[in-house]
Amino acid sequence: MKNLTVFLFGFILLFAVAGIALYYWYTNSIIMPNGSSKASVIFEVIPGDSVEEIADKLVAQGLLKDRWCFVIYAKFNPDLVSKFQAGYFELSPQNSVVDLFSLLQKAKNKEDVKLTIIEGLRYDEIADTLAVAFAKEKDSKFDKDEFIDLVENPSEAEFSAEVTQYLKVYKPEGVNLEGFLYPDTYFFAKDSTTMEVLEKLVSTLFNKLSPEDYSKFNSSRYSFYELLTVASLIQREAFGLDEKPMIADIIFKRLEQGINGVKLLQIDASLLYPVKDWKADVYRLKNEDNPYNTYKYPGLPPSPICNPGIDSFKAALNPEANEYYYYLHDSSGKIHYAKTYSEHLSNINRYL
């Protein structure tokens, strides 16, 4: 009987300790940030989405760490769930579960300007995208010419202290903001100023990169700006996500080891940047004498050639080691690699 009493007491004590531990896990989980990134993410709730479906989408977009914590919190707070709205929301991994339940009650204003800046555009193309979106607004304060002027002359822009410090550290003196305008889906108030729009694009890049990314940037033999330039080349050269780390390694090999003793990148996309036409005849441009002609001038071009997405940054930071020095895409978009120039010529004859 005594042994049974000790057993029951131990069982109750263990159950109580487990309950307390579970309680502390839950109360801590709902108030802790779901991630370290400050980057805004556009999140959509479709009419009819269940709590479980919302939780799954939050996890998929990196906005929620623990699905069950979200679902349990919903069970305890049905009054909050009833206030969830359908529509678009600007969320961040730094939001806690409690934050998410509050934010999901406030869908973006339907009068806001929603636009998507696709990856790989030059700053003049981004200016066009913004101008088209804001042209629909009667009270718009966005000015395309002012935007281009500020991008070309960032020292004249009145950025926040945070962005000013960021650019001071990572942008070389005297260069423009090509490469720093992060491609993403944005919501802007219809009366946003040109400066507010520019601030948002630059700060989004700053926040999209993780502490681990910055650690790699800071320990690299290349500067942030050089890696930004590499990322822009990857963005315009790669057709698929899986190609990017492979092309990154080929670019670094050409930079460091060269081809036949000459450190020429020989990248077609860089030829197209000065002429502001991604569909121009690259064969004709190979004879042009300008610093973006990587068939004539060794090393990196003098600036990024576009504004790359996060996957191209990750590839520049994490190249996939391979034996290739050449690549091409056939008419269907499939990539073909080659170790030697003779193999590359064979691929040209075969696939082009």
Query: Taking 60 as the threshold, does the pLDDT of residue 42 lie above it?
Result: yes
Count how many domains the chain has.
3
Give the mean pLDDT of 95-114. 87
Q: Look-up: residue for tokens 């760490």?
A: 65
In a domain, 335, yes or no: no
Look up the domain containing 66 and give its range. 26-103
In a domain, 316, yes or no: yes
- The CATH number of the domain holding residue 89 is 3.30.1490.480
Side chain identity, residue 331: S
Question: Do the beta carbons of residue 305 and residue 270 sit within 8 Å?
Answer: yes
Q: Look-up: residue for tokens 């281009």?
A: 148
Query: Taking 70 as the threshold, does the pLDDT of residue 7 lie above it?
Result: no
Give the mean pLDDT of 209-219. 89
- At residue 144 the predicted structure's pLDDT band, cuts being 50, 70 and 90, is very high
Query: Taking 80 as the threshold, does the pLDDT of residue 9 lie above it?
Result: no
280-324: pLDDT as tens digits: 999 899 989 999 999 999 999 999 999 999 999 999 999 999 999
Q: Look-up: residue for tokens 């487990």?
A: 18
Per-residue confidence (pLDDT) for residue 24, from 0 to 100: 58
In this structure, the answer to whether residues 139 and 86 fall within a common structural domain is no
How many angstroms separate the CA atoms of 86 and 173, rounded? 45
Per-residue confidence (pLDDT) for residue 32, from 0 to 100: 85
In this structure, the answer to whether residues 80 and 69 fall within a common structural domain is yes
DSSP conformational letter for 109: P
In this structure, the answer to whether residues 172 and 254 fall within a common structural domain is no
Question: Do the beta carbons of residue 264 and residue 332 sit within 8 Å?
Answer: no
- At residue 22 the predicted structure's pLDDT band, cuts being 50, 70 and 90, is low
Question: Do the beta carbons of residue 260 and residue 211 sit within 8 Å?
Answer: no
Q: Name which residue leads in pLDDT, 206 or 127.
A: 127
In a domain, 6, yes or no: no
145-154: pLDDT as tens digits: 999 999 999 9
